[in-house]
Amino acid sequence: MSKEKFLSEIAEGYTFEGPFFTLGGAMLNGECQTNSLVNLPLKTMNRHGLIAGATGSGKTKTLQIIAEQLSSQGVPVLMMDIKGDLSGIAAASDGHPKIDERHESIGIPFEAGNSPVEFLTLSGEKGARLRATVSEFGPVLFSKILDLNDTQSGIVSVIFKYCDDKKLPLLDLKDIKETLKFVLDAGKDEFEEEYGKISSASVGTITRKIIELEQQGADKFFGETSFEVEDLIRQDKDGKGMVSIVRLTDIQDKPKLFSTFMLQMLAEIYATLPEQGDADKPRLVMFIDEAHLVFSEASDALRDQLEAIVKLIRSKGVGLFFVTQNPDDIPDEVLGQLGMKVQHALRAFTAKDRKAIKLAAQNYPISDYYETEELLTSLGIGEAFVTVLNEKGIPTPLVHCLLRAPQSRMDVLTKAEIQAVLDASEIIDKYNEEIDRESAYEVLKGKIAEAQKEENQAELEKERAKAEKSTTSSRSSSRRQSTFTKVANQIGRTATRELTRGLLGALGIKSTRRRSSRRWF
């Protein structure tokens, strides 16, 4: 195929009427074709995407390039920073001769720049705290997170209904644990009368699964103040989209918490934002680094829920980009929904790797200019195969792309620079205030204490009645003892008189004395 035809196809395939940004320059036979630009249209950025490649192939920098270009176009960005290497987007690049050389090959000038950044956190990292209440999850989503069966999920639904009816706020995990304990103990009769009996064994299983979630740090995530979606779709005073970086370096070994957070975040965004329809640019774009963590440890129910949201959320103007090593890390149902694909180099060290590369090559459009499977193993750092949906939703030709350099720093911020970003935050004070208002835990604790008080009072009354009964019995016994003593004394006196009379002969009738003796003795 001729070079002229290749350049013509690239020019036609990557030229758009609406807003776009340049990702890099097209390459043919290992050489960058200057001024043959690979552009990405903002209109289809809500059709989701994939950034894949082996370690060290340049995935993170590609993420950084796309995020900062979106921000410069006024599109807010949300990034999951698992490895802690995305903070540099807040500082302008220092530049380098090799960067200038790369951009000269592509045919665009290099301009250093930074993006407005907000740091968010789920745990102990510095930043505005991300929280959600148990009530906001709802019984269905909460059950899916715990991977409950139908019977256990039914119990959770009844517990939520009970708390709604009794005005018991379910804010954090201790609220729902206390409610489960209450309906099996102090509130058992009241609960069963209105909602029916529940299995103590099932309740025990639910409680254990909640504790398992707590052990992964979810107790810090559930609670108030709940994060508002509106704070994720802000622009700064210059009209740049805010780049919100969720710092997750301390939960790499807690995939269940990561999956829980991701699902809740997506569900909240979907529930909050109105339908957008066709628009020139997305309302929000989310990048999920190390995306395999979302799916590898997720239950089947959780994966199904994630897949459903991925399919639906684009109608709200939200794009999701999954960043991972191999396309095989993403379930086929999700992979089929990803309109843009940026594939960096893959490494073939084993037979399994070669098989994975062959399968990965089949995810991309057939090209007359590249041996895709062969080239996948020889792509250089900062090079990638690219295809995207054009403004009509049609895949663009597959192109070997030399990526532009990030305008921002390709390194992390210093501690002082991170603190400066935190000090300038407009939302950190709003979300880092500790709030623990009265909820189900406190209300039910109070009811249990009141019930215990009544029980203690009843016990005291019972003891008092028993004591009074004992006193009455004692008085009666004393009266009986007094009567017995009087009778005994009387018998003694009579016997004495009988004896005295006998001795003195006063009675004089022997038979009568015998009768008296028999009567008393």
- Of 345-359, 426-440, 478-492, give the lowest mean pLDDT range: 478-492
Residue 484's pLDDT is 44
Span 111-131, mean pLDDT? 91
* pTM for the structure as a whole: 0.80
Three-class SS of residue 416?
Answer: helix
Residue 348's pLDDT is 77
Distance CA 271, CA 289 (A): 23
What radius of gyration, in Å, describes the C-alpha atoms of the chain?
40
Residue 471: pLDDT band with limits 50, 70, 90: low
Span 501-509, mean pLDDT? 35
pLDDT at 483 over 70: no
Q: Between these two residues, 452 and 324, which has the higher pLDDT value?
A: 324
Tell the residue number behind the tokens 């003892």, with chain if given: 481
Residue 458: pLDDT band with limits 50, 70, 90: low
Helix ranges (H only) for 329-439 are: 332-335, 351-361, 372-375, 415-423, 428-432
Percent of the chain with pLDDT strictly greater than 90: 49
pLDDT in tens, 268-278: 899 899 998 77
Do you know the residue count of the chain?
521
Distance CA 259, CA 295 (A): 7
Distance CA 461, CA 466 (A): 8
pLDDT at 134 over 60: yes
Residue 386's pLDDT is 96
Residue 326: pLDDT band with limits 50, 70, 90: confident
pLDDT at 334 over 60: yes
Residue 455: pLDDT band with limits 50, 70, 90: low
Distance CA 431, CA 64 (A): 26
Q: Between these two residues, 261 and 502, which has the higher pLDDT value?
A: 261
Buried residues in 211-221 as b, exposed as e (16+ CB within 10 A) = eebbebbbebb
Distance CA 95, CA 410 (A): 10
- Tokens coding 274: 């109105």
Report phi then psi at 149, rounded to 5.
-80, 180
pLDDT at 51 over 70: yes
Q: What is the mean pLDDT of the chain?
A: 84
Span 135-154, mean pLDDT? 88
